[in-house]
A and B are shown apart, each in its own frame.
Chain A
Amino acid sequence: MNTWRRRIAKERQIWIMAVPMIVWVLVFSYYPMYGMIIAFQNYVPGNSFFSGDWVGFAHFERFFNSPDFGTIMRNTFAISGLNILFGLPAPLILALLLNELKNKAFKRFTQTLSYIPYFISWVVVASILFTLLGSDGLLNKLLIDFGFIREPISFLGEGKYFWSILTTSNVWKDVGFNSIIYLSALASIDREQIEAGKVDGIGRFGTVWHIYLPGIRTTIILLWILGLGGILNAGFEQQLLIGSPTTAEYSEVIDTYVYKYGVQLGYYSFAAAVNLMKAVVSVLLVIGMNRIAKKFFDTSIL
């Protein structure tokens, strides 16, 4: 007890900063969790959380048995998978490239330029995509003018292009912002190692492969674990804004399905059940990935 008191007294500034955050998390993240009980009831807004009819796992069964379940899960895994496949390496590559820039002003300018898409809302991004990829859009005009095609391609109207468009726009939007964490990890690498590498004549690619990547391995694995943990979060706004009836077969994911058949129809219990399922799966995935990372790479976040 005395040790604790002494420790808290010594670290009081950190505790003063941390305690409000801890309280905030407890009040706004943990305390409301009891509301998850509505996932097992037929909840009616206005009633108490404990007064609804108990239905057990009926809402979960309804989701798993829904006729669109296969399509929804396929789309969710496909979109998330592509986002992980391209969205995890892209900021790393950008960070490595930025790290090689010697001209500081140009480096700062490029970095700033790469962040800007992150702050553009999906509504604006959707408008940009319609302007670029519509049948009268810039891309079709260029392809027709250069003789590659004779008739415009309905990129936004055909489902087969949907995943590519979404992944590309996701990567474009997030690559700059997500590279920050890699840049800060690269900055923490011991300069002596890099100098030693130069002396050994390993060259730029060698430096990347033998020094930078191993040096930021922990960060890479951490983000990979978190990325895989969120595999069931394939987006919502993007699908609502960019999707259309002709691409619905490829754009419907868990979150859009829950919004349509849960929130909009007033089936809050159903929406809560699916979100609870997603949260449980995400936690299990994070724990699982963490164990794998610990076993094979001796790195973990838990």
Chain B
Amino acid sequence: MEKKTTMSQISVAELSKELRDAITKLETTGNLDEVGIVLRVGDGVVWVQGLRDAGYNEVLQIETDNGIVEAFALNLSEDEIGAVLLGADSHVKAGQTVRLKGSVLTVPVGPELLGRVVDPLGNPVDGGPAIKTKQQGIVEREAIGVMGRKSVHEPLMTGISAIDVMFPIGRGQRELIIGDRQTGKTALAIDTMINQGKQKTGVVNVYVAIGQKRSKIARLVERLKQEGVMDQTIIVATSPADPASLLYLAPYAATAMGEYFRDNSQHALMIYDDLTKHAVAYRQMSLLLRRPPGREAYPGDVFYLHSRLLERSAKLSDALGAGSLTALPIIETQAGDISAYIPTNVISITDGQIFLETDLFYQGIRPAISAGLSVSRVGGAAQSSAIKSVSGGLKLGLSQFRELASFAQFGSDLDEATKSQIERGQRLTELLKQHQYNPLSIWQQVASVNAVSSGYFNNVPVAKIKDAQSSMLTRLWADHKKDMMELDKGGKPTEEILKSIEVTARAAAKGFEG
């Protein structure tokens, strides 16, 4: 009881101090501020008369009976301003006074945000204490110029063999994850985040949930905590119940948070989940602002909406600290149609795409990555020598196998070369299957792919490939830990290491030969 009294005394004392501080800051400018009035309000959009000096994207402050509500100006016409509210419109009424804040939208940025779940304005939504950062970042910041950039050359390991081996991603790259609903798009992104923690890469994860269910975000946070990755993760969350303005702002605000790390010589990974919902939120806002609709009712600048966002991902030059911001945007397709409006836009903006197929997913091939339609345009330069040594011809071989496999269904009269290619493809497909939340390190990927592509597992039945792989990895770690740790650094495997892998793989395969 006594303890309780003490705690309440402390909080009253703190509150009193904060209140005094706030009151001392309540000085008026002593100037006549430019003001406007609310003409109309509805559906999260407010129309304002006056404020002739307002700039595009400038923050407006509306004085309601329940406090100040902020909005940002998006339509500047001769007679009125169309602005989108950043909060509920229930207290905003016609005739209320509107002022210019004198700045564009900013959000708190810095390491203080790590481990937190925030809304797009930087307010905590995880029930934790208020976030006090030393810096603010501009939400709509211009992308870095040509001279400030460097070619992508360092790998960003996802821990997913199929990606790291066939479609490598480099730090500073924009790689799209695209596929129908329930094909494992978010799972790929989460595994990549987990891998950054497990491999201790030091890459900061920024996950942007655009209109995602709160229950899904809660599950994600729980999982990231279990995996010990939450400490290097920021989650910017918006739910379907939030106004469209917040969904629209979420990726820009999160990018500002990620840019802090990029600009301080660190590396950050942005996951935009997903940009389809983002485009829909922007379409809603644009239609309410009475902008003319174009294809699929999206406004004319919907390409620019995503291009200016993704252009902020970059690998910085040494002069700027050599930090990087890698982007993994997610797009949801309808019935596998990648030629729809938003998918084609984002495909053309990004440096490659990982295409997930529903058919593969239901065949049990997970991650359901399509070898034929996926590509990484710049990641090859970033692939580590270790992985490169086993990746040659893998993608082509797998694509050819999937074509041959469909032919093989029509008859069993196949020549030896085709048969062996199909068998190799089946083993490889089986090998590249991977459980969720189980990213693999470099040595595990190199040893596994090497074992199958060199034919050490040729006598192992396809169904037992994963068991043989697991046995081989356990033996390798037990018997050749030092070599594997060396291999994990990413250098080209030496003859000695390759010999160790061969001996161990053959020994492991013996136990599973049918």
A and B part of one assembly: no
Q: B residues within 8 Å of A by Cβ?
A: none
Q: A residues within 8 Å of B by Cβ?
A: none
